Structure 1
Amino acid sequence: MPTKKREWYPYASYHITARGNHRNDIFKDKEDFIYYLTLIKEAVEYYIYDKYEIISYCLMDNHVHILIKTGERHLGQFIGKINSKYAKYYNKKYNYIGHLFQDRYFSELIESDAQMLETSKYIHLNPVRAKMVEKPEDYEWSSYPMYIGNKKENLICSSYLLSYFNSENRELYKKYVEAVI
């Protein structure tokens, strides 16, 4: 049976998740996290004319969250490039056979500003909800430390989300995210 075609709108934003097969870990050490982030950066550069922008991300041990603004090219090529390269790397490094990722990646269309903000908050609080850290800024594999100014911004475009907060105020964004903790 053919795979159902995804709903696609150019110049839209999407929340992407990709989970390890059988919920198994897809990152086992620091090098794995770094390599996946490198692949995201390479894909953004490769598709530079398509104007993909990473709004926020969080790499958990067994899954990935990416909030992305797209251009004209379908998101499947972008995410497919990252996940297939990462799966080859992982399979070779760990002598792993079979599917690394469970199914295709999941994508949810972001349809409002409120949904954009809530999705980013959800992504940034994921390590706290999983009881991996007490505060979201303590999680190394998330864009949150960049949003609040604790880490030099790299890979992400924070200005879009921060523009909702009084002249791109990082402290207001931090209060918004951490209000539920």
Structure 2
Amino acid sequence: MTRMNRVWFKGAKYHITSRGVRKLPLFYDDQDRRKYITLIEEAMELYSFNLQAYCLMPNHVHLQAECIETPPSQIMNFIHTKYAKYFNKRYDYTGHVFENRYGSELITSINYELEASRYIHLNPVKANLVSRPEEYLWSSYRFYISKDKHPLTISTKQILSYFPGPAIEHYINYVNQKMTQANVSSLFHSSGEVF
């Protein structure tokens, strides 16, 4: 069966997800997480895209990206091929590291752009890894709400521009609001499963 081509055009924004094969961990420790972040950084140097949000969960990844000149397939192929080689070598594994190809949802509205950002940043809370999103070390949330420098260039300006001043305070309130079932259901993937 032929796979359908994904929609891409210059400047398209996506909520990208990828999960470990058989829902197994993608990251066993901070070294693994740092490696994945380093690969995102390398991809940002090679390809033209803005990273608006990210979250590295134990067995899956969320990225929110604006692909300026490069299709997400090229970006994700670069990151995941290199990470799979690293991961298999480090743990003396063979075979696939990622389950299927990455998932991508085209962001077609400001509302969805905001909801995706909030969903990504609340993922560790929903998974009971932390009680507040700013406690999680492996997402971009802390860099939205503080002036801390991040090793990656996180493009917070677009998301924050949707809020009146003080934008950071309004974004914190927005993220902390409970998501309604309608908001959650809009983030379902075509498989019907939420990461």
TM-score (norm 1): 0.94
* 1:128 matched residue in structure 2: 125
SS of 1:122's equivalent in the other structure is helix
- Is the Cα–Cα contact under 8 Å of residues 15 and 107 in structure 1 kept in the other structure? yes
Cα distance in 2 for partners of 1:168, 1:92 equals 47
Which has the higher mean CA deviation after the structures are superposed, 135-144 or 5-14? 5-14
Distance in 2, matches of 1:147 and 1:120, equals 11
Identity %: 46
Aligned residues: 178
Residue 176 of structure 2 corresponds to which residue in structure 1? Answer: 178
The residue aligned with 2:40 is: 40
Q: Please list every run of 5 or more consecutive structure 2 residues that lacks an aligned counterpart in the other structure.
A: 180-195
Residues 39, 86 of structure 1: 8 Å contact kept: yes
Residue 68 of structure 1: aligned partner: 65
Counterparts of 1:94-113 in structure 2, within 5 Å, are 94-113=91-110
Structure 1 residues 61 and 82, CA, compared in 2 at 3 Å: closer, same or farther? same
2:84 corresponds to: 87
CA RMSD of aligned residues (A): 1.4
- Within a 5 Å distance, the mapping from 1:133-148 to structure 2 comes to 133-148=130-145
State the 1:35 CA deviation: 0.6
CA deviation after TM superposition for structure 1 residue 94, in Å? 0.3
Matched AA of 1:163: S
Contact 1:162-1:168 at 8 Å conserved across structures: no
Which residue matches 2:18? 18
The TM-score with structure 2 as length reference comes to: 0.87
Runs of 5+ consecutive residues of structure 1 not aligned to the other structure: none
